Amino acid sequence: MVLENVPGTSAKDVLDMVLITQYFDTMEEIGASSESSSVFIPHGPGAVQDIATQIRSEFLQASSAH
């Protein structure tokens, strides 16, 4: 199937599909290896803000508990 001939499909859509496919292929390879010990941490700008918010929230909850 040639995606450039599909109406409404952009180069970004094609790139996103390739990246998602590569991501899942990598996940499958890591999961299939019994010697693998990997930790996945969100790494985008939104994820960093999310982690900071969660940490701040946990500190505030811990402070109010004492």
What is the pLDDT at residue 54?
83
**pTM over 0.85, yes/no:** no
What is the pLDDT at residue 66?
64
DSSP codes, the chain: --GGGSTT--HHHHHHHHHHHHHHHHHHHHHH-TT--------SHHHHHHHHHHHHHHHHHHHHH-
The pLDDT tens digits of the residues spanning 8-49 come to 788 888 888 888 888 788 878 877 877 777 777 666 767 767
